[in-house]
Amino acid sequence: MMASIDEYIVPDIWTWNEENGGTFGSINRPVAGATFDSELPVGKHPLQLYSEGTPNGVKVTILLEELLAAGHQNAEYDAWLIKIGKGEQFSSGFVEANPNSKIPALVDYSEKHPQRVFESGSILFYLATKFGAFLPSSPSEYTEMMSWLFWQMGSAPYLGGGFGHFFVYAPNKLKYPINRYAMEVKRQLSVLDNRLADCEFISGPTYSIADMAIWPWYGRLALGRQYGKKAGAFLSVSDYSNVIRWATQLEQREAVIRGQMVNRTSGDLSGQLRERHSQEDFEFNTEDKISRS
């Protein structure tokens, strides 16, 4: 008897088949470590970011642009594009920066010994602590911020690897996983909406790294910019008015606008700055200008 598209005959021993991974099947493997030798480039600034413009990558570029906008000149950085669809995260250089082979990865050369930092939440906390910025001064609000930062790190896999994968990228549309993850994402949106009914920002009155961590995933989703308008309609994101208010407010910040452009490889060419090495790049080196030169 042949299995239907909704059935999976579970084998006694699982074996990896890259073709079963769908659109992004090539970006993951069941083993760790490098697959080829290649050093990472190093620019002129102490902070070197290796990333791509996914929500996790955007978290960090938003913070770096916010730090620069707030006057922290030592936060100048080079952002190098890591094409995860082509497996560049499996180079020996990148694995040295992040043994988990996931973007983003940061190397801070301002320290006596270059400091690697990986996992987006850890990078946010490292930079905010290093520059003493975007952290609430109140102990209570600081603790609230940390709770929401960890909430995002634990919750986003349901949105990205769960709902986003099965709704957009999986080879076949399957009812059970789509419904399962849609339910969880709507619950998470409800959690955020209830929180933002009582405060301007996630941790309270202070704009913080918790907002920067959550916005690229849930703020963009509420605005219909994450997984497209069809996903927003499917999840009835218009029901979450407090999330939309907060998301719209953050989207208008200049640093958020710039942060979304860095290491971006899709969408309007004028919004793509595939590599960033100075503030002037936003004016002169976006993909629309490069393609005309």
Burial class (CB in 10 A: 0-12, 13-18, 19+), 161: middle
User: Rounded to whole angstroms, how far apart are CA atoms 109 and 55?
Assistant: 25
At a CB cut-off of 8 Å and minimum separation 6, what does 50 contact? 40, 80, 82, 94, 97, 98, 103, 104, 105, 106, 107
Domain boundaries, the chain: 139-259
At residue 20, the pLDDT reads 60
In this prediction, residue 22 carries a pLDDT of: 61
- What CATH architecture is 139-259? Up-down Bundle (1.20)
Residue owning tokens 């219909």: 224
Which positions of the chain have pLDDT values less than 70?
Answer: 1-6, 18-26, 293
pTM, full prediction: 0.94
What pLDDT is recorded for position 62?
Answer: 98
Whether residue 247 contacts residue 219, with contact meaning beta carbons closer than 8 Å, is answered with yes
DSSP string, 49-84: EEE-SSHHHHHHHHHHHHHHHTT-GGG-EEEEE--G
- pLDDT at res. 1: 45
User: Bridge-partner residues for 157, per DSSP?
Assistant: none
Task: Return the structure tokens found at 219.
Answer: 């703020």
The pLDDT value recorded for residue 182 is 98
Residue 46 near residue 110, CB atoms below 8 Å:
yes
